[in-house]
Structure 1
């Protein structure tokens, strides 16, 4: 029975082709049953050259129990002889300072930690243990909160570096797998607290729905998969229309009103979402009601009107265009500075660049994205420090091909109005660091380096 179940789960993941030979994969392990099963399954995938790194975030919410989870995952990584990365975050403080629920603050902290770890390890993927029952719960949560097709398509098997190989596997299958393998896991007592919406749906709503359909979780997950396919197609249609219609400047995103109003209403709403995402870098606090208000502004009779949206965003209608702009600091104009060597160099964007030559540290992970280590031989002076220009390209650390800096900004969710404030450091005509975001492969510290440039951006 053990071998059949293990072979079945491993076969499912192989069929998805989520991982490739030679990749480095960050495996998110909380210590719960699903993540322990995920780790064991990935260990037994036997993909040539696959490098696994176990990552665990201590949320500091449950005192000794949280520390026990960390110790358990550390011992698990040791048993498999895998690298282990952990970090401790005060999620309660993050929730308080950010006016978030503990669940939302914890989720944000986890994803930030996994992405940071992936960047530090030059990882190709981040494996998450979300399974079919999680998917069903997510669909119901979003349905209750009010969501369109994008929300109800729930979690995707692949999104950027994120990989969710267990979305077709039930919680019961994973627990059976662990029992048959003789593996233990940690139980988070807070998962029984039905004051938390997800727990209430898991322990109360879904059992009620199972009275009408015993396979309700399976059906909800299948519905999410169908909607995900539809959403992918609609996103492609919207992206093509956006590329055809949009006019971007450092301060605003504009859509020509005449052409916009010829499009179907559903496509217009998606265009507004894309315009807001391009401007802000995210869609937090933007609801369907806000998109409807924008469409009412665009299709109304007033030739000149304005609408204020969350996130200090203003939508303005003119006679021939609909404009999305921010009310925060005006973007910086074109600027550049020549840096001839070590020292502190004031930049015209409320920051300073500090350059110092130090012995090569044992670890090139500073713990801060505002600090980078650069190989002196690969990056001779003078350097040019400047802002982003259209067409800028560079080779991110760990890659061989070039990437548009604009695409990097989009992937990192840098708002349009802030992009001209991000310092780009050039040496010998090549971008060696998109400051605070990514070092270039051309600046990579060689194993033989005795000294390095330590470069830091200071906010002033």
Structure 2
């Protein structure tokens, strides 16, 4: 098996040559075999062990066991003790999810602090099968069936092509000792029930089940790559990116038979879960929307607009005192005295200082707002101006106004109020510019 692992590393992980590897070692047979193999291949490794304090004195014994093995092999050893149950309660997570988050957060911290390049875990072929069956039993898409990736960012899993049976044979032949986790024998967890009762039946039905499963995973991964490539090509045709907003053209996306798959691919990383509602949104009336924890998906005319949710702690009003020359937030705005008057543009206006009441305010729209747009006749309600200019609902929410004594001086970046404009008789001209 050593040769098989070595060939697998050379074929799929040649980039780790000369890199520093942090091994996640629990003390179980799979991680102890991984440690032995890495040592025999003379890789530059360190050992990280987590004590989750879930099994009383057994957890303490596991930690001492792994530390002793690391010391014998003269390998750096790192230990972290977690209050897993308390953390799970505070974060409202299951014990398994809490342990996973604690574990990987610590591993990534170690990578930085101790200058390691990759985290190496001992997941093997049987873990692949169990994960596949768990996801299948719960209902999943293609993404849930492609298995555990051999590499995920800075995490690599070199044993994924090795079965548990092969690991056990290698451990016995090489006299490797390990710690047996008593909880592995319990049927309390879904994974254990699948391991003890489902997988043995599948192996009995098909003696070549492991090989067949590997082939199936390979085919699913190829199909997944096709979906990703296709979604990227369609994205270029139907999606526009404007600052922090994605605009998905509903008419164009509906031309694709598998448009739901594309929407899922584009939106799955934004925390949405109500997929049928999202698919219905494509043909919904304007103004309908769906929230995820951090994003808003809004139907606006012919588009779905995806944008970050407004920070509710964001100040609604920003003040500009008379002596202020530059405001950095929420917009980069400068004010300066000048003797020249130019035609107003989207990014600069020239106003009469004597017509301004300080402090000026930068704020969002309010009910009843109106102004006298430069280049137009008479006054206009801001809501009517937005409609005439074909603002989307998100555009309206994002538009900043410069006001004086609660009167609009400038729809910033768009249109100035002609009442405040400087003329040839103006004694104090102020240039206000959006950088």
Q: State the TM-score, normalizing by the size of structure 1.
A: 0.63
Q: Report the Cα distance in structure 1 between the residues aligned to 2:233 and 2:112, rounded to whole angstroms.
A: 30
1:303 aligns with 285
Q: Report the Cα distance in structure 2 between the residues aligned to 1:315 and 1:116, rounded to whole angstroms.
A: 34
For residue 278 of structure 2, the aligned residue among 248, 271, 294 is: 294
Native 8 Å contact 1:18 1:163 kept in 2: no
Alignment of 1:325 with 2:303, yes or no, is no
For residue 135 of structure 1, the aligned residue among 119, 125, 128 is: 128
Aligned residues: 318
Native 8 Å contact 2:231 2:265 kept in 1: no
SS at 1:225's partner residue? helix
* Aligned-pair CA distance for 1:30: 0.7
From the superposition, tell whether residues 102 and 218 of structure 1 become closer, same or farther in structure 2 (CA, over 3 Å): farther
SS at 2:204's partner residue? coil
Larger radius of gyration: 2
Mapping of residues 388-407 of structure 1, within 5 Å: none
Native 8 Å contact 1:136 1:218 kept in 2: no
* Aligned-pair CA distance for 1:178: 1.1
* Aligned-pair CA distance for 1:348: 8.2
SS at 1:66's partner residue? helix
Q: Report the Cα distance in structure 2 between the residues aligned to 1:263 and 1:313, rounded to whole angstroms.
A: 25
2:25 aligns with 29
Native 8 Å contact 1:132 1:218 kept in 2: no
Per-residue CA deviations over 1:286-331 (Å, capped at 9, x if unaligned) read: 44xx223212210x2x331424344254321111210123445169
Mapping of residues 96-245 of structure 1, within 5 Å: 96-243=89-236, 245=238
Q: Report the Cα distance in structure 2 between the residues aligned to 1:243 and 1:226, rounded to whole angstroms.
A: 26
From the superposition, tell whether residues 250 and 79 of structure 1 become closer, same or farther in structure 2 (CA, over 3 Å): farther
SS at 1:308's partner residue? strand
SS at 2:123's partner residue? coil
Per-residue CA deviations over 1:43-91 (Å, capped at 9, x if unaligned) read: 2224xxx421111111111121111111111112112211112211122
Per-residue CA deviations over 1:309-357 (Å, capped at 9, x if unaligned) read: 4425432111121012344516979xxxxxxxxxxxxx989xxxxxxxx
Per-residue CA deviations over 1:110-162 (Å, capped at 9, x if unaligned) read: 22222222222332221111100000001000101111111100111112111
Q: Report the Cα distance in structure 1 between the residues aligned to 2:103 and 2:311, rounded to whole angstroms.
A: 30
SS at 2:288's partner residue? strand
Mapping of residues 318-397 of structure 1, within 5 Å: 318-327=300-309, 329=311
From the superposition, tell whether residues 135 and 18 of structure 1 become closer, same or farther in structure 2 (CA, over 3 Å): farther
Instruction: Give unmatched runs, 5+ long, in structure 2.
Output: 316-327, 331-435
Per-residue CA deviations over 1:371-407 (Å, capped at 9, x if unaligned) read: xxxxxxxxxxxxxxxxxxxxxxxxxxxxxxxxxxxxx
Native 8 Å contact 2:29 2:167 kept in 1: yes
Q: Report the Cα distance in structure 2 between the residues aligned to 1:241 and 1:147, rounded to whole angstroms.
A: 23
From the superposition, tell whether residues 303 and 140 of structure 1 become closer, same or farther in structure 2 (CA, over 3 Å): same
Native 8 Å contact 2:46 2:75 kept in 1: yes
Per-residue CA deviations over 1:97-120 (Å, capped at 9, x if unaligned) read: 222221122122222222222222
For residue 275 of structure 1, the aligned residue among 248, 267, 270 is: 267
2:246 aligns with 253
Native 8 Å contact 2:278 2:290 kept in 1: no
Instruction: Give unmatched runs, 5+ long, in structure 1.
Output: 334-346, 350-460
Alignment of 1:12 with 2:8, yes or no, is yes
Q: Report the Cα distance in structure 1 between the residues aligned to 2:3 and 2:27, rounded to whole angstroms.
A: 23
Native 8 Å contact 2:5 2:158 kept in 1: no
Q: State the TM-score, normalizing by the size of structure 2.
A: 0.67
SS at 1:211's partner residue? helix
Per-residue CA deviations over 1:187-244 (Å, capped at 9, x if unaligned) read: 1111122120000100111122233223334433432232122212322332343355
Greater mean alpha carbon deviation, residues 174-183 or residues 309-318: 309-318
